Amino acid sequence: MSDYNQQMIEQFRGNFLKEVESNVEEGEWVKMCMQCGVCSGSCPFGPHWAHPPQEIFMMIREGEREQVLTSDSMWMCTSCYNCIVRCPRGLPITHIMHGLATYAKRLGLAPKEQPTAKFAQLFWDNLTKTGRVNELKLGLALYFMNGFSEGIKTSLKMKDIGLGMWKTKRLNPMEMVGGHSCKDTKGLQAILAKAQEIEDAKIGRSGA
Amino acid sequence: MSEAKIGAYICKGCGLGDRLDTSQLVTIAEREGKAAIAREHDFLCSEAGVQMIRDDIANEGVNRVVIAACSRRAKTDAFDFDGVCINRTNLREGVIWVRPDTDEDRETTQEMAADYVRMGCAEIKHMNPPTPNEKTDASSRILVVGGGISGMTAALEAARAGYPVTLVEKSGQLGGVAAELVKRVPERAPYADPEDTGVAALAAEIEANELIEVCLNSTLARTSGAPGCFSADIATESGTTRTENFGAIIQASGFKPYDASQLPELGYGKTPDVVDQMGLEALVRAAGDGPVKRPSDGKEVERVLFVQCAGQRSQKEGHLPYCSGHCCLTSIKQAMYFKDRNRDIDTEILYTDLRTPGAPGEDFYRSGQQKGITFVKGVVEDVASSGNGAKVKYKDIILDETIERDVDLVVLATGMVPNSGVDIEAVSAPNVEGAEDDAGDNGGDSVEIPVESILNLTYRQGKDIPQLKYGFTDSHFICFPYESRRTGIYATGPVRRPMDMMSAIEDATGAALKAIQAVENAKLGRAAHPRSGDLSFPSFRKEGCTQCKRCTVECPFGAIDEDEQRYPQFNESRCRRCGTCMGACPVRVISFENYSVDTVGQQIKNVDIPDEFDEKPRILVLACENDAYPALDMAAQSGQQYSQWARVIPVRCLGSVNTIWVTDALNSGYDGVVLMGCQKGENYQCHFVKGSEMAHYRMSKIDDTLSQLNLEKERVATYEVAITDIERAPGLINEMAETIDKIGMSPFKF
Amino acid sequence: MAKKSYSFYPGCSSQKAASASNYLTSVQSMCDVLDVELNEIPDWNCCSASIGYAGGGELPRLALSARNMALSEQAHPGQDIVATCAACWLATKETQERLHADEELMKETNEALAAAGLQVKADQKVRHMVEVLIEDFGYEELGKPVKKPLEGIKIAGYVGCQTNRPFGIAGESFENPKYLDKLVETLGAEPCENYEKKVQCCGGALAFSEPEKSQELIKGIIESAYDNGAELIVTPCPVCQMNVEVYQDQINAKYGTKFKMPVVYYSTLMSVAYGKSLKEAGLDGQVIRAKQLEEIAKK
C-alpha cells in the first residue's frame, strides 16, 4: 500500500463517500443514486461483476472503502455506456467506474492480476510513448503480460488472427521497430506531465 | 297532471330504416303501445325531427315521448324536452348494431325491435314527470368539523365562494397537527428546502374572515337532519350547548400519530433518544436556532438515523398495514433540519421503498441527496441502548449484510391513524336477517372499541360515517372522492385516506365544493351525485307497509329513519335515488314517479313470448345503467354481437332490482334472466356503494324460488360487470343463450 | 453540390497497416464520390479511447483530446472535426462537452496545453462521419451516386455502443437506432430490421483482456444476424468490426458454431455501390471475405 493511501485514510477518517466525492472523477454523483438497479441490469458484463454499479454506490455510502477499491468490479466495465443512457437519475456511471479504477490504481489498491487493469495500463504506456497506439506492441505486450511462457502460449493461440490481419494488411510486423508516431512527442508528453501535476495537486497526491 | 298522451317516434336514420320495417313498428306503437301519435322520421335527431316532436308536445298535448332510435346515452342534447316523460327505446345500439345484417336474421331482428317498442310504450305509460320539491328555506351555512389544515382550508374555500361557515374545533387552537411542526415539506418549486407551515397565516385569514365563525374547545353533541336542513348541537368544554342549522357538513377530523410505544423492537421506550416524527418536531422546536440535542443527556446530535415504515406497511399484529404516504418526505424534511444547521451531521434514512408522491416528491428527494442525506435500503434488526443514544443494527438489503451504527438519535416514521369516530358497522348489530352477513365483512369481530363519536348523528344506521378499510371513512375512491355514504356530509383530509399537507389542501378544496353543491341541490330538491339533478323521489304506500325495516337497513346512505310508529321515514335530500329501497321492499310499496316496480315490470310483461314450439327463447337482461348498460352500448359500437333472444332493460342500480321482476319473468315464460351490476365488496365500483352487493345477496336466495317453480337454477345468473367489459358483457348474454340451448326452453309459456 | 471540407481525425486504428486501415481506404473512396475533402489534423494524437484510465487520470485524458482540438483549430479553423472511429469521436466530443460545462476544467486544460505552446477553445463541432452523411447529405442525396445497387443482399446493421451511446445520432433512439437500416436500403440492399443485437456490446477493448467473456457477447451478435437471415454485417465502428470479424474461428472452435459472417463498414458498402473497385472499397482488407460485394465490385 502506498503512502498516498495512508494519507487519504487519515484525511477522510472513514468518510469514504466524501473521499470519493473529492478524489474520484464524477464522484460527486454517487450520492444521487436511488438504488433502482437499472445499471446492473443493463451491463453486458453484469454476470461477471462481483459488485455491480448499484452495489458499488451503496458500498461507498456504507463506507466500505477497502472492499470497493480492491474490487475487480470497475475493471469489468466495457465502456458500452448502456448504464449512462438508462440511468433515470442521469449518473455518469461509466465515468464513475473509470474514475474509481483510476483512483484504486493510484492508491495502489487495484487488484494486481486483473487483466483489464494491466491492459489499460499497457495501453496508456503505449500511447504516451509516441502519441499514437502501436497495435502490434500493445498486442504482444498484452500476451506476455503474465510472463514469458504464458505469452508464448497466448501468442500461438492468437497467431491465426495475427496472420489474418497481416495478410489483409491490417497488421505490420515492421511496427516492432519504430512505427507510427506523433512528431511533437515532447510537446505531448509535456502536456500530459502538466495535466498530471495539476490533477495531483487537487487530490493531494504528490510525486506519484 | 293531465292524462297521459303518448307520442311514439321511430327513427329511420343510421341504417335503422334499411334494417327494420319501421312502418310495422309504428303500427305496434299505435295498436299495442296505445300511442296517440306514432310517426316515422328519416333523421329524428335533426332539427326537423326534433321540431316535429316539439310541435306535437305543444300542439297535440303529447306528454309521454317514446323515442325509438339510438341509445339513451346518445343525442341527449337533441332529445331534451321539458315537462314530459321520455323513453329512449334503443333500436340502434340495442338491436341493429348487435345483430348481423343478413336475410335469415331479418325476422328475429325485427322481433327484437318490435319488443323494444312495446316495452318503451309500456314503461312510459307508468311514468309520471317528477315534481320538484323546492326548499327555499334550506340553510346555506356549512359546518366544518376539525380545525387542522384540511378543516381550515375547507372553511376558507367555502367562505371565499360566499358561503357562511361554522368551524368546530375540539382543542383550544387552530392548526391541528400542522401547528406542531417546525416547517413543512415544500409546496413551491424548486422544492428544495423545507418551508414555513403556513398555519399562522391560515389561522389569521380565518379570524379575519367575516363569514367564518370559529368555535374552539367545542364538539358536536348531536347532529340530525339532511342536506339543507342539518341541525347540530355544538357543545363547549364549559358545558354550554347551542343548536344551529346547516346546509352541509365537512368532516375534517384528521388523524393521530400511531402510538410508537407499541414498537419496543425499534427501541421506543428503551431510551428517550428514540423518538417518533412528532417527537423530533418537538426537539427541533425546543432547539430554536441552535443545535438539536438528544433528550437523554443534552449532547448535541451528530448522528441521526431515520427508520421508515415504523409499524406500518406491516402485517404484524397491531401494526398498520398501509402506507401513510407522507412519512418519507417528512423524514427527508427532518433530516434537512440537521443538514441545514450543520452539513457534517450524519443523517441516514433507512427505507425499504422510498415513496415520495406529489409535486415536491422527486425534487425534494434529490435535494436531500444533494445536501448529503444518506439513503440506505435496509431493515432494522435491532435497536439497543444503554441509556444514551442507541446502537442500531440493520440489514442492508442491497449489500445483503448486517451493519451496525452508533447514533445519537433514532427517529421512527410511524403512520397515520384516522379520527373516524365510531365504526358503526362494528357497533350496531342489525336486527334484520341477511343484513347481518354483510356486517361481518367489516371487522364485526372487534366490537369493543371505546371511541368517541365525531358527529353523533341521530341516523337510524349509526352515529358516524361508515368506514371502509383500516378505519378510514368510506368514500367512492375510484370515481367520487369526498362522497361519503351520508349525503351532504363530506369527509376530507387524512380521515378519509392517509395524505400529506399538500394533498390535504387540495382535498379540502374539493370537499368544500361538494358541500356547496349539496347545499344548492337541496334548495332545488334535486339529488346529489351520482344522479345529480334528479328530481324524482321515493314514496311509499303506508297502508301496505309491514314495517319489516328492510328499506331502512339496506339504504346505503342512511337516508331512511323510522318514525315513532316504526314506519320508514324518508329524508328526501339524503336520498341518492338509487332505488335500493324499492328493490328491497318485499311488499313493493316503494316507488319513484318515473321509476317503479311497474315501469320495469310492465316492460317485462309486454315482451312477446312465442310459444315453446317456435324455439325462440327470451332472455331478460337487467343491466345497471352506470356500467353494464354502457358496456353493452360500447360493445355494439365496436361491432360485437349478442343473442337475438335478449331483451335488455337498464336499471338505476342492481340494488333497485326487486325479485318480483325475476319471478314474474320466469312465470311468464322467459327462459333465462341475466343480471349485471357493478363490482361489489371492498374495492367496490358500485355508484351506490352497496346496491350491487345487496342485489347479489338477494339473488343468492332466488334458488328457492326456482326450485319451487321446478326450474333449473342456471336460468338466473348474476354478474359483476365493469364499464370496460366490452367483450365480456355480450359474452355473458350469449352464454345464457347457450345454456338455454342445452337445458331447453322454459315450460312456462302460455 | 459544392465540395465539403472537414477537419479530419483518422485515429490510430486507421493508420497504414493498422487494424482498420481498410476503413480509411473505403472512407476515402466514398468521400471521393461525394466530393468531400478530409483535411487531416496535423500531428494528431491518440484519444486514449475508453481504456486509458488505468494510467491516465481525468485531466491527462481530456488533455489528449484537447490537444487534437487545439491543432485542428490552428490548421482548419471554421471546419467541423470529423472522426470515423467511434472511440475517437466519443472521446473528443466528451472532452468538448466537459470543457464547456466546467470553467475550471477548461482553465486547467489550457494550462496543460500551454506546456506545448497550445491553447484550445473547443468550439468546432465534433462529428462522426455517419452524422455528416445523414445530416449534410441525407439518404436521398446519398442514393444518387449509386451505380451498382446491392440488390439481393440481406444485411444486419450492427450499430454497437459508442456511435450510439451516450451521444448517438440525432433523431435516433438508443435502444433501436435505424440509420444503418435506412442506409442499407438506400444502397439497394435489404436491411434486417428486427436484428435484436444491433446495440449489443461486443466487449470493446475488453475483447483483449477478457477474451472469453467478450466472445460470448460476440457470439450472440453473429448468431442473431444469422437468425435474421443476414448475409453480411455492417457497422460504423472499427472496434466492432474487428471484434465481430476476427474471432469467429475461435468462437467456432469453442462453441461448435460454423460462423463465417463477413463484417464490413458502411463506407465499404457505399464504395461498392458507388462503383469503386474491390481494392478501393477496402474489400481486400476483409479477413472473412465479403464475396457478394466482391462480385458486385468486379462487375
DSSP code string of C190-243:
EE-TT-TTTT----TTHHHHSHHHHHHHHHHHHHHHHHTT-SEEEES-HHHHHH
What are the pLDDT digits (tens) for C231-283?
999 999 999 999 999 999 999 999 999 999 999 999 999 999 999 999 999 99
Q: Which residue of A has its CA nearest to C161?
A: A80
CB contact under 8 A, C43 and A183: yes
CB contact under 8 A, A54 and B375: no
With beta carbons under 8 A apart, name residues in chain C contacting A187: 115-118
| pLDDT on residue B434 | 44
Q: What is the pTM of this model?
A: 0.86
| pLDDT on residue B477 | 66
Smallest CA–CA separation between A58 and chain B, in Å?
7
Identical fold at B1-129 and B609-750? Answer: yes
Give the count of alpha carbons within 13 A of B346, CB side only: 20
| pLDDT on residue B54 | 97
Chosen for mutation from A23, A39, A80 (greatest number of chain C CBs closer than 10 Å) is: A80
Q: How far apart are CA B578 and CA B555, in angstroms?
A: 9
CATH number of B268-415, picked from 3.30.465.10, 3.10.129.10, 3.50.50.60, 3.30.390.50:
3.50.50.60
CB contact under 8 A, A123 and C49: yes
Q: Which residue of B has its CA nearest to A54?
A: B398
Scan for cell 452524422, then name that residue.
C131
Continuous segment of H or E residues that includes residue B244: strand B241-246
The partner residues of B222 in beta bridges, in order of sequence, read B233
CB contact under 8 A, C116 and A184: yes
Smallest CA–CA separation between A55 and chain B, in Å?
6
Out of B372, B377, B396, the one facing A31 most closely (by C-beta) is: B372
Chains C and B touch (3+ CB pairs under 8 A): no
Length of chain B: 750
User: Looking at the domain C4-129, which fold is it?
Assistant: Glutathione S-transferase Yfyf (Class Pi); Chain A, domain 2 (1.20.1050)
| pLDDT on residue A139 | 79
Residues 50 to 89 of A: which have CB under 8 A from any C CB? 76, 78-82, 84-86
Kind of pairing between the strands at C154-157 and C190-191: parallel
With beta carbons under 8 A apart, name residues in chain A contacting B366: 32, 89
- Give, in words, the CATH class of B1-129: alpha beta
Residue type, C284: D
Q: How far apart are CA A127 and CA C296, in angstroms?
A: 39
| pLDDT on residue A1 | 55
Residues 149 to 208 of A: which have CB under 8 A from any C CB? 157, 160-161, 164-165, 167-172, 174-175, 180, 182-184, 186-188, 190-196, 198-199
Looking at the complex, does the CB of residue A117 fall below 8 Å from at least one CB of chain C? yes
The partner residues of B561 in beta bridges, in order of sequence, read B569
Q: Inform me whether the pLDDT recorded for A197 exceeds 60.
A: yes
CB contact under 8 A, B376 and A31: no
Q: How far apart are CA B590 and CA B595, in angstroms?
A: 10
Residue type, A57: F
ipTM value for the complex: 0.94
Within 10 Å of residue A116's Cβ, how many Cβ atoms? 24
| pLDDT on residue B439 | 41
Q: Which residue of A has its CA nearest to C67?
A: A188
Structural domain spans, chain C: 4-129, 145-298
CB contact under 8 A, B375 and A59: no
With beta carbons under 8 A apart, name residues in chain B contacting A54: 398
Residues 14 to 73 of A: which have CB under 8 A from any B CB? 17, 31-32, 34-35, 54-55, 58-59, 61-62, 64
Mean pLDDT (whole number) for A41-60: 95
User: Looking at the domain B609-750, which fold is it?
Assistant: Rossmann fold (3.40.50)
- Dihedral Cα A82, A83, A88, A90, nearest 10 deg: -100
Q: Which residue of A has its CA nearest to C242?
A: A165
Q: Which residue of A has its CA nearest to C44?
A: A182
Smallest CA–CA separation between A89 and chain C, in Å?
14
**Domain B539-590, second-level architecture:** 2-Layer Sandwich (3.30)
Domains by residue range for chain A, with CATH: 3-111 (1.10.1060.10), 115-195 (no CATH)
Q: What is the CATH number of domain B142-254+419-524?
A: 3.50.50.60
Structural domain spans, chain B: 1-129, 142-254+419-524, 268-415, 539-590, 609-750
Q: How far apart are CA B695 and CA B712, in angstroms?
A: 20
The partner residues of B271 in beta bridges, in order of sequence, read B268
Smallest CA–CA separation between A13 and chain B, in Å?
13
User: Looking at the domain C145-298, which fold is it?
Assistant: Rossmann fold (3.40.50)
CB contact under 8 A, C204 and A76: no
- Given a cut of 50, the residues of chain B with pLDDT beneath it are 1, 429-449
CB contact under 8 A, A116 and C210: yes
Identical fold at C4-129 and C145-298? Answer: no
Give φ, ψ of B674 to 5 degrees. -115, 125
**Residue pair B177/B201 in contact by the 8 Å Cβ criterion:** no
CA-nearest of C16, C14, C34, C33 to C24 is C14
What are the pLDDT digits (tens) for A127-174?
999 999 888 888 777 777 777 777 778 887 888 888 888 888 888 877
Out of A31, A34, A58, the one facing B399 most closely (by C-beta) is: A58
With beta carbons under 8 A apart, name residues in chain A contacting C44: 182
For A11-28, give one letter per residue: b (16+ CB within 10 A) or e. ebeeebbbbbbebbbbbe
Sequence-distant (6+) residues with CB within 8 A of B296 are: B271, B272, B273, B387, B388, B389
Smallest CA–CA separation between A188 and chain C, in Å?
7
DSSP string, C43-62: T-----TTTGGGT--HHHHH
What is the three-class DSSP state of B351? strand
CB contact under 8 A, B396 and A32: no
The chains found to touch C (3+ Cβ pairs under 8 angstroms) are: A
Out of A31, A54, A58, the one facing B369 most closely (by C-beta) is: A31
